[in-house]
Every structure is written in C-alpha cells, then in structure tokens.
Structure 1
Amino acid sequence: MAEAWMLQVQGLRFAYPECAVLQGVSFTSPAGLVLVRGDESSGKTTLLRLLAGELTPQAGHIALQGGAARAGGQVFWADPRAGQGDAVAAQAWLDGLLAQYPQWDAAALAAHIDGFALQEHLAKPFYALSTGSKRKVLMAGALASGAALTLIDEPVGGLDKPSIAYLTEALAQVAAQPGRVVVVAHYEALPGVPWGTVVDLPG
C-alpha cells in the first residue's frame, strides 16, 4: 500500500519579469521532511513563497492534505529576509503565534528556546538581533507551530556549530510527527537529518 501523500506539487511554473525561475517543478511528499536543494538563484525561496501562497504560480497546482485550503494556521512561513516588525521583541512575536496556530506546542517552544540558547535574546527587538539569532527565533516559532505545512529557508545562515547540531536533532524529531510536512530550502543536505523527499532544482 502506497504511503499517503500530504503535499503534492504538479507542473509548477513561475517567472519574474526579468527571468524564468521554476519550470515544471513536480513532487509528492508524505508527512516528514522535504529538502529543496539548489544553488544560489535556483528558485528555492521562490518555491517556498509559492507553497506559502505569497506568490501565485503561472502554471501548475499545489495541494495540501488532499486539497484542503491552505489557511487556518495550516501553513507557517516567515521569510528570514523580511523585517518581522523590526521593533517588535522576539518574545512578543513568538507570543503572537499562539493565536494563529491551533496545534501550537508550548513545550516544544520552550525546548527550542533552550536548544538554540535564545533565552537572553527574547527581550530584544528584531532589529537588535544578529542574523543567526533572528533565524533561530524564526525556526523556534516554525518548529513549535505544529503547522501542517512548515516552510524554512536557508536554516543555518549565521548559526554556530552547537545551534546547527540542535537544529539537526529538532528536525529529526519533527520528521516523526504525523500529519505534518516540513519543507527546508538549502544548498545541500544537512548531515544526520532524515530527509524523506529531496527536490533538486536546476541552477
């Protein structure tokens, strides 16, 4: 019996005015971890934005959980290049996620704050955080959200070795959660992470 799919992407195409980025991207994934792998400018972030509904595909189809609408706290996407409300404190931003995600896991958030050594940074506004600390806050929120489709872009940017080691452990734990697909965009596979599906984007 084939494993039930949770995320299905068929014939996805998207082009910016100056260049085509994605041409006929297709993949199917059950619950677990998906690695979107590619070089710089291969369209990794664009694919995440399409999955999040932030961009509209020019062709193709995206389905989550057999066609359920991507709404109601089902999708988590926080672009690490965006401001996230630069003057908002990290703790306040995390607190605001509770009302957005019905499957929010407070115990998981506490574990991620500890694992990423974030406690001393939570009172700081986003503009005062380093690149690595900001990414860790966003990933702590993403992993704790319980969202059926969780999207994480370039996870190790600015991270130190202990934080990368913790991220590997955290992703392995999320991989075992039923009813959840976590899509990670990165230029290579992170060692020790049990990727269920790997999507290679041409350069």
Structure 2
Amino acid sequence: MAENVVLQVDGLCFAYPECAVLGGLSLAWPGGVALVQGDESTGKTTLMRLLAGELPPQAGEVTLQGVRQRGALQAYRARVFWHDLRSAALDALTARQWLDGLPARYPAWDAAALASHVEGFALQPHLDKPFYALSTGSRRKVLMAGGLASGAPLTLFDEPVAGLDKPSIHHLQSALAAAAGHLERLVVVAHYEALPGVAWDHAITLLR
C-alpha cells in the first residue's frame, strides 16, 4: 500500500442472493473526505457496511492504514467509526452516556470538537434523552457529532442529511469542508448527490 494511502480496496465483491452489488471494486484513497454517490439500491449502504467490517466481503481485500480487514478484523474495526442508524443497539443509552463512552475507544478523541458539534447540531436539549426517544434526525446528529469528534482513521456516514434541519445541514457541510485534505483521516459519506460547499478529495459513483 502506498505510503500516503489511508484506505485501500482491492477487488471487492459482494452479492445478495437476488442481485450482485459490487463486482471487483478497487480504490486507493489518502485522507480527506470521500463521496460514495449513487441512486437507491445501488449498494451505497452495503459498501459502507463492508468498509466498516460489519459485512464480510465475498472476495477482495480492504486495508486501513496498513491493517488488513481479513487478517485482523478486531484491529481494523478499532480504527473505524460506523453506526447503522437502523440498529437498536444504543436504544437504552442516553445520548450523553454514549458520547461519554467514546473517548475510551478512540485515542484521537477531540472533546473541543464534540462541544462544537453539539452546538452546531443544537443537541444540548437532547443529550439526556435515550436513543429510542430521539427522532431520526436527532439520532443521526448525535451519531455524526460523535463520529466527527472521534478522530477515527476511517469515519463512515450513510445518507447523513436525511431528517436534518437546514442549520444542521449547513453545520455538517462546514464540518466536512474542514475535514477535506486531512492526511491521516478519511471521512466517507454515502449520499445520492454531492453536498454543496464540500470540496471532495475523492468520489465514486455506484450504478445499478
């Protein structure tokens, strides 16, 4: 893997019983911000789950900062921030409890960044609510605040603006714009279109 590459994907393949999704995807991305673009049912979420190590590829290899997913899955996952919004795993926790547990997992955690994102996403009134009581938009904002503050080498956001109000969308755009060009960290966003105001360092389009 080239010295400046954060994420390398070689010949990644995955298919569901009813359809093929990815057929030999390869890429080599340095740090910064990356866009995975595509219409519905083109495999954006599947790719994010594969990159997160949540879904095993049927062929190919994913390497993050020199750590191969297949050979060292636990070490690989420790370098990734990813949460599926559809999962009920966090439902019993309050937003604050979950956020308070993240610094122990992510060595590059940035408390000042979290405070900035809590303010930017207007999360203060929601921090002591359990996840199950949060709206979809508020859940998404809590997860993104944690992800942006995590400092994880690979941070994955799937359809990040769904359910967000305009001020929160603007804050997200600013946060992604600020992450562009970072050498040691890659933030990957799956969305059906490019977000305005973000100078994407990398982009791919998935097709049916």
Q: With the length of structure 2 as denominator, give the TM-score of the two structures.
A: 0.92
The answer on 1:147 being equivalent to 2:163 is no
Please give the alpha-carbon distance, in whole angstroms, between the structure 2 residues aligned to 1:45 and 1:77.
Answer: 11
User: In the superposition, relative to structure 1, how do residues 85 and 154 fare at CA in structure 2: closer, same or farther (>3 Å)?
Assistant: same
Aligned residues: CA RMSD: 1.6
C-alpha displacement of 1:170: 0.6
C-alpha displacement of 1:72: 6.8
Please give the alpha-carbon distance, in whole angstroms, between the structure 2 residues aligned to 1:193 and 1:122.
Answer: 28
C-alpha displacement of 1:3: 8.1
Which residues of 2 match residues 96-115 of structure 1 at below 5 A?
Answer: 96-115=101-120
C-alpha displacement of 1:110: 0.4
C-alpha displacement of 1:20: 1.3
Helix, strand or coil at the partner of 1:29? strand
Please give the alpha-carbon distance, in whole angstroms, between the structure 2 residues aligned to 1:157 and 1:8.
Answer: 28
User: In the superposition, relative to structure 1, how do residues 47 and 111 fare at CA in structure 2: closer, same or farther (>3 Å)?
Assistant: same
Please give the per-residue CA displacement for 1:109-149, whole angstroms capped at 9, x wherever unaligned.
00000000000000101111111100000000000000001
C-alpha displacement of 1:19: 1.9
C-alpha displacement of 1:71: 3.3
Correspondence for 1:184 among 171, 189, 206: 189
Q: Percent identity?
A: 66
Please give the per-residue CA displacement for 1:125-177, whole angstroms capped at 9, x wherever unaligned.
11111111000000000000000011111100100111000000011112243
Structure 2 unaligned residues grouped into runs of 5+: none
Q: With the length of structure 1 as denominator, give the TM-score of the two structures.
A: 0.94
Helix, strand or coil at the partner of 1:127? helix
User: What's the counterpart of residue 100 of structure 2?
Assistant: 95
Please give the per-residue CA displacement for 1:3-38, whole angstroms capped at 9, x wherever unaligned.
821111121110122221111112111110110011
Please give the alpha-carbon distance, in whole angstroms, between the structure 1 residues aligned to 2:132 and 2:61.
Answer: 37
Please give the alpha-carbon distance, in whole angstroms, between the structure 1 residues aligned to 2:157 and 2:93.
Answer: 21
Q: What amino acid does structure 2 have at the position aligned with 1:6?
A: V
**Which piece of structure 1 moves more, 179-188 or 3-12?**
3-12
Please give the alpha-carbon distance, in whole angstroms, between the structure 2 residues aligned to 1:94 and 1:135.
Answer: 13
Q: What amino acid does structure 2 have at the position aligned with 1:192?
A: G
The answer on 1:50 being equivalent to 2:50 is yes
Please give the per-residue CA displacement for 1:11-67, whole angstroms capped at 9, x wherever unaligned.
111012222111111211111011001111111111111111111111111111234
Q: What amino acid does structure 2 have at the position aligned with 1:47?
A: L
Q: Is the 8 A contact 1:72 1:100 kept in 2?
A: no
Please give the alpha-carbon distance, in whole angstroms, between the structure 2 residues aligned to 1:72 and 1:191.
Answer: 30
C-alpha displacement of 1:84: 3.5
Please give the per-residue CA displacement for 1:94-118, whole angstroms capped at 9, x wherever unaligned.
1111111111111100000000000
User: What's the counterpart of residue 59 of structure 1?
Assistant: 59
User: What's the counterpart of residue 20 of structure 1?
Assistant: 20
Helix, strand or coil at the partner of 2:164? coil
